[in-house]
Amino acid sequence: MAKLDTILFDLDGTLADTAPDLAQALNLVLAEKGRPTLSFEDIRPTVSHGGRAMIERGFGFGPEHEDYEKTRLRFLEIYLQNIAQHTRLFDGMNEFLKEIEKQGLKWGVVTNKPSWLTNPLMTQLALTSRAACIISGDSAARAKPHPEPMIMACEQVGTEPERCVYIGDAQRDIDAGLVVGMRTLVALFGYLQEHDKPETWGADAMIDHPQEAWQYINQWRSE
């Protein structure tokens, strides 16, 4: 295996704790529609699965419903207006990023979040200039778990999949990394759902805290 030189992250539920702002947006839409709001604990596990999953959780309907698209757009409108009101990097993540940079490694983001939400969020978090790549859900023709975004990330960084580790909190993250030959880590601190079984996803390891990744990164760098 080639020596590791790049760490790639999923965004929601891995790099940043975006659930508070997304949950607030969903509850505001529910309130506007005269529906009961949900607890944060109810909403949090759906965040990594995108707006569709959140709408389905809150309203009980999907894209086939006549009100779905209007509801989705209103939800995203509210979210964009408050995109970094409560969002923060996960505990220990900023230190992790600083250490990555200190050691001369590169890092970037590969997310299914659309670019019109990803880019302002990365700007608000003061991460845009630090990231070697920012691949959004609409950057490539197909989003994760398709391998195309992962390949695009490598091209932008100037590396190869075998030199990357991808960290994510959903099975599609691990699937996308594995299919192109990246090493993969499951972020157990992210937005896993009760029925998720990350131990079956085929990742190289699972971590409870960003700093736990170093034991694997250091090992892979020395191989």
- Comparing 61 with 1, the larger pLDDT belongs to 61
Buried b (16+ CB within 10 A) or exposed e, 6-23: bbbbbbbbbbbbbbbbbb
Residues 6+ apart with CB under 8 A from 159: 5, 6, 106
Indicate the pTM of the whole model.
0.95
pLDDT at 167: 98
Q: Which two tokens stand for residue 177?
A: 């990394």
Please give the average per-residue pLDDT across 93-103, as a whole number: 97
**What are the contacts of 213-218 at 24+ separation with CB within 8 A?**
213/7, 213/96, 213/165, 213/167, 213/185, 214/99, 216/165, 216/183, 216/185, 217/4, 217/7, 217/105, 217/165
Query: What residue spans define the domains of the chain?
Result: 6-17+88-222, 19-81
The CATH number corresponding to 6-17+88-222 among 3.30.1490.20, 3.40.120.10, 3.40.50.1000, 3.30.70.20 equals 3.40.50.1000
Peptide bond between residue 114 and the one before it cis (omega within 30 degrees of 0): no
Helix (H, G, I), strand (E, B) or coil at 130: coil
Task: Enter the DSSP assignment of 142.
Answer: S
First to last CA, the chain: 7
Task: Please give the pLDDT value at position 1.
Answer: 56
Q: How far apart are CA 221 and CA 1, in angstroms?
A: 10
For the cut 70, the answer to whether the pLDDT of residue 116 exceeds it is: yes
**Which residues are catalytic, by number?**
10, 12
pLDDT at 81 (0 to 100): 96
